[in-house]
Amino acid sequence: MTMWQIKKSVVEPDEAGPGASSPSAEQRAAGKALARADWLIDLKVQIHRQLIERINLAMLEKLPRERIATEISQIVGDLLEQDRTALNRAERETLVADVLDELLGLGPLEPLLKDESVTDILVNGHDVVFVERRGLLERVATRFQDEKHLLRIIQKIVSAVGRRVDESSPFVDARLADGSRVNAIVAPLAIDGSLLSIRKFSKIPISMANMISYGSIPAKVAEVLQAIVEARLNVIISGGTGSGKTTLLNALSSFIDERERIVTIEDSAELQLQQDHVARLETRPANIEGRGEVTQRDLVKNALRMRPDRIILGECRSGEAFDMLQAMNTGHDGSMTTVHANTPRDALSRIEQMIGMSGIDISPRSARAQIASAINVVIQIGRLSDGRRKLLSLSELTGMEGDTITMQEIFRFHITGRNEAGQVQGQFEAAGIRPKFATNLQTQGIHLDPRLFDPRADLEPT
């Protein structure tokens, strides 16, 4: 399509005169916007092409951004001159920025990556993009020219970590330069176009104080959490996908004493501990020949030889559960990890299954006994249907009764309904049980007000 034809199609919807079946004003406006978007995409391709003709690619990499921007501005000027199309200044600047993003960055993803309010970016094929803002998913107008364009951007992301996606390795985990976590999966596994999921890295992590102010955790429960960490209880954070497990783990870690040596183990480094003495470890996938893999399990074992005061495992998902429990049981108390599960009970059965995955020959009963003696507290969190994250339950393990692990709930978020705006209604309450760990805390000189556990207590005084 030549510029002239494109321009014509932009003008056409506007020129359609009134008639019996004429589109509504909104339809016309939408049609016009779409046609203009198509035209802009085409214009970008042309600018791109001319730019490559003028400057060779190898040079481009070395030129400063401003210099390329000037060059692009000139090309844009020439092109628009030929075509006599009017672009206002803002449109022109956006166009130059888009071309720059394409050349030097990740194209259409750049504005979303820069937008601080966006926490997740989900690309479902070249023309469907969703983002998460304030806990809620929304579709955005961002799109790629075509599937090939999207694939090119994906290759750009994964090549930065020395990998590539193709038919023989159709899915890959990667990380952006700023630490954002990326997963890409392409054809033939992705049926309707490549899928890209980005969990953005927030430069300023959500702190416990933030969580209190967002209403995720009442201040009084946060006090108990602080005591739990200071008293070196072993903690499991349980929750579904994107419920805020990693975020809470990070916030809890802020209660750890500066003087302790912390070893963190993750598949993809996300934790941002504030202490000075943190030894960070990250797993490594196998290379193309299938060699060199280092698993979380290997790292947990290695961590034990690193004289850690505490081990923080980003997410426990397989055989490393066994080694983690061993560590908790043998003097590395105060260790923490997260598990993907929907209830505290469910978290324990997941861990039991994971012990099975370690290949260690151990009876279900002894596995449970291991769990019961290693873990002190399970914190269940969840993402409510309105997008808010809440601490749903805080439970403590109290031992075994026969073959069953005994557990008691100390605090819960009791959901009562929804208001007209669709917001989940409910309140935090104490179950009325003074936790067994309160005694343990007391012996360490950490005193918790017994009134905290009174079911009549208002945990969220306003």
Ligand X SMILES: Nc1ncnc2c1ncn2[C@@H]1O[C@H](COP(=O)(O)OP(=O)(O)OP(=O)(O)O)[C@@H](O)[C@H]1O
Please report, as ranges, the residues that interact with ligand X according to CB under 6 A. 119-120, 135, 199, 202, 206, 211, 214, 216, 239, 241-247, 389
CA 222 to chain centre: 23
Q: Which of 161, 105, 112, 116 is nearest to 139 (CA)?
A: 112
* Binding-site partner at residue 239 among ligand X, Mg ion, none, CB < 5 to 8 Å by type: ligand X
Q: Decide whether 44 or 245 has the Cβ nearer to ligand X.
A: 245
Q: Decide whether 194 or 253 has the Cβ nearer to Mg ion.
A: 253
Q: Which of 282, 242, 232 is nearest to 135 (CA)?
A: 242
Q: Decide whether 6 or 198 has the Cβ nearer to Mg ion.
A: 198
The 3 state secondary structure assigned to 237-278 is: EEECCCCCHHHHHHHHHCCCCCCCCEEEEECCCCCCCCCCCE
Q: Are 321 and 354 spatial neighbours (Cβ–Cβ below 8 Å)?
A: yes
Q: How far is the CB of 340 from ligand X (least distance, A)?
A: 6
Q: Are 251 and 208 spatial neighbours (Cβ–Cβ below 8 Å)?
A: yes
Q: Are 150 and 142 spatial neighbours (Cβ–Cβ below 8 Å)?
A: no
Q: Which helix (H) or strand (E) holds 338?
A: strand 336-340
Cβ–Cβ contacts within 10 Å for residue 187, how many?
A: 16
Residue 341 exposed, middle or buried by CB count within 10 Å (0-12, 13-18, 19+): buried
In three-state secondary structure terms, 316 is coil
- Of residues 232 through 261, those in contact with Mg ion by CB under 5 A are 245-246
Q: Decide whether 243 or 370 has the Cβ nearer to ligand X.
A: 243
* Binding-site partner at residue 376 among Mg ion, ligand X, none, CB < 5 to 8 Å by type: none
| Pairwise CA distance, residues 66 & 72, whole Å | 10
Q: How far is the CB of 41 from Mg ion (least distance, A)?
A: 35
Q: Does 180 bind Mg ion (CB under 5 A)?
A: no
**∠ at Cα 380 (253, 175), nearest 5°?**
55
Q: Decide whether 245 or 390 has the Cβ nearer to Mg ion.
A: 245
Q: Does 283 bind Mg ion (CB under 5 A)?
A: no
Q: Are 157 and 106 spatial neighbours (Cβ–Cβ below 8 Å)?
A: yes
Q: Decide whether 120 or 309 has the Cβ nearer to Mg ion.
A: 120
For 206, list phi and psi in degrees, rounded to 5.
-70, 125
The tokens describing 444, both together, are 């360490």
Q: How far is the CB of 226 from Mg ion (least distance, A)?
A: 22
Q: How far is the CB of 315 from Mg ion (least distance, A)?
A: 6
* Binding-site partner at residue 206 among ligand X, Mg ion, none, CB < 5 to 8 Å by type: ligand X
* Binding-site partner at residue 216 among ligand X, Mg ion, none, CB < 5 to 8 Å by type: ligand X
Q: Decide whether 119 or 337 has the Cβ nearer to ligand X.
A: 119
Sequence letter at residue 350: R
Q: How far is the CB of 242 from Mg ion (least distance, A)?
A: 8
Q: In the bound complex, which residue of the shown chain has the CB atom lying closest to ligand X?
A: 244
Q: Decide whether 142 or 246 has the Cβ nearer to Mg ion.
A: 246
Q: Which of 389, 392, 387 is nearest to 415 (CA)?
A: 392
Q: How far is the CB of 394 from ligand X (least distance, A)?
A: 15
Q: How far is the CB of 387 from ligand X (least distance, A)?
A: 8
* Binding-site partner at residue 145 among ligand X, Mg ion, none, CB < 5 to 8 Å by type: none
Q: How far is the CB of 243 from ligand X (least distance, A)?
A: 4
Q: Are 239 and 288 spatial neighbours (Cβ–Cβ below 8 Å)?
A: no
* Binding-site partner at residue 56 among ligand X, Mg ion, none, CB < 5 to 8 Å by type: none
Q: Does 264 bind Mg ion (CB under 5 A)?
A: no
Q: Does 268 bind Mg ion (CB under 5 A)?
A: no
Q: Decide whether 115 or 257 has the Cβ nearer to ligand X.
A: 115
End-to-end CA distance of the chain: 63
Q: Does 272 bind Mg ion (CB under 5 A)?
A: no
CA 57 to chain centre: 34
Q: How far is the CB of 27 from ligand X (least distance, A)?
A: 36
* Binding-site partner at residue 110 among ligand X, Mg ion, none, CB < 5 to 8 Å by type: none
Residues that bind Mg ion (CB under 5 A): 245-246
